[in-house]
Amino acid sequence: MTLTQYLLITFVLILLLNENEKVINIKNKWFQAVNMKAVLFNMHDLVLLFTVYQCLLFALFLVTLKRGKRKTHLLLAAFLLSQAAIPLDNLINFGEIFRDTALQLSPNLFYSFGLAYWIEAPLLLFYIRSLIYKDYQFRRYDLLLLVPFLLYAIYFANSWWLEDEALKIAALQGDTIANSPFYERVIHLFREVFRVACGILCLMELNKYQRQLKQQVAETESVDLTWLKILVLGFLGVRVISVFTALAIISAYEVGFYVDHELLGLSSNYVVILIVSGLIFFSAGYSTIFRGIERQGTPNTSKEKSKIDLRQVEKITHYMHLNKPYLNHLLTLENLAKQLDIAPRALSHIINHHFNKNFFEFINQYRIEESKLLLKSESNRKATMLDIMDAAGFNSKATFNTFFKKLVGKTPTQYRKDFWD
């Protein structure tokens, strides 16, 4: 029996055995709904329920997972829990059977899970940063992204949790959206704009990672960011829809120009279930391919150039020609720095400011020179291009062909043909 099944059975048994009046009323309502002729949930509710279920299940899996980056797993689990809370908030506020059940249990259940809207976007950003950076640590400016959540939690506690229960029940009667004051609509709009801004920061972080990756590895083909970018764009799209939903509500109830905000809200629910399913699949299968890199600031170019030790430059050049470390397909900045007994950051600065290349270009330039020698060798006249590429240290045919054409001005095949003809 799985933990989820155990918890579900335990919850049902508690309901069956508890004779509290509120619980009896809830039991009767749910048992009446669960007859063969009644429809317990509509399609929209089922989509939300399945989203909650898969988020909770995978979050539990991540929390108990022993291998991999623990902090990354916990951040993804926290993000998934926030994604579970959002559809639960929708079910309580707008699902008929959930709404009645929550009213009988406690009016405090209403809107409370909506606090997750303020935290899910920063959590996704933190997850991405922990995935792409080695030993990711929170910085003070990272925590600024949690300020909107904290401020809204204080406001929400004062305006809802601490209110008299009778006033809360009265406020929940009728159309709660139509009865909301204007300032709450503005808060709602600000929340969605804030979530969009966090999504844009996620994309900027991934683009920054792609640029910095070439400073530390010589082979980038195995690090495919496409899936993660699609997922981030998907969540960003949902948040943009939410901005339009907030604007549609203001338009309908403040301006008098009706836009179908319910349709916008429902459509985002269906998109979310697809994106969450994709996140679970890809994060489980592909997150291990990420090569964590050191987080780098913006150096002062003039100061860095003045710090370059020419003896270290000579040491690097001599070592590259004599030992040919670039023949290792998996060579990284950290590996080479260890071989040279030079700090990785110092080696990166020398490559950038003395050789005027990033690490990716620096290593692959040597590989191109090696491949030219191999192509001119009599013993390799019948060797395939894949053999030449492999012998020169390349792990990607695309990188080999691109660099060769860029540095030599012709393809490897044409180069060999011109040399031997």
Chain position carrying tokens 């030993």: 135
Compare 299 and 132 and report the one with higher pLDDT: 132
pLDDT score of 395 more than 90:
no
Closest Cα partner for 372 from 361, 363, 380? 380
The answer to whether 72 and 283 have CB atoms below 8 angstroms apart is no
Note the pTM of the prediction, 2 decimals. 0.74
pLDDT tens figures, 17-59: 454 545 445 545 544 444 444 445 577 888 899 899 999 999 9
Q: Taking 70 as the threshold, does the pLDDT of residue 269 lie above it?
A: yes
Cβ neighbourhood burial of 92 (10 Å; 0-12, 13-18, 19+): buried
DSSP class of 324:
-
Nearest to 71 by CA among 137, 166, 168, 140: 137
Residue 6 has pLDDT above 50, yes or no: no
| List of domains in the chain | 41-289 (1.20.1070), 301-420 (1.10.10.60)
Q: Which residues of 272-294 are buried (b: 16+ CB within 10 A; e: fewer)?
A: bbebbeebbeebeeebeebbbbe
Q: How far is CA 78 from the centre of its chain?
A: 12
Residue 12 has pLDDT above 70, yes or no: no
What is the Cα Rg of the chain in Å? Answer: 29
Q: Convert the pLDDT of each residue in 189-232 to its tens digit.
A: 999 999 999 999 999 999 888 888 878 777 666 566 777 888 89
Task: Report d(CA 195, CA 249) in Å as an integer.
Answer: 18
SS in 3 state form for 334-372? HHHHHHHCCCHHHHHHHHHHCCCCCHHHHHHHHHHHHHH
Please give the single-letter amino acid code of residue 290: F
Residue 303 predicted with pLDDT over 50: no
At CB < 8 A and 24+ separation, what contacts does 227-230 make? 227/278, 227/282, 227/286, 228/128, 228/131, 228/282, 229/203, 230/278
Q: What is the pLDDT of residue 216?
A: 78
- Percent of the chain clearing pLDDT 90 (strictly above): 40
Task: Give burial (CB, 10 Å; 0-12/13-18/19+) of 260.
Answer: exposed
Does residue 284 register a pLDDT over 70? no
Q: Of residues 301 and 81, which shows the higher confidence score?
A: 81
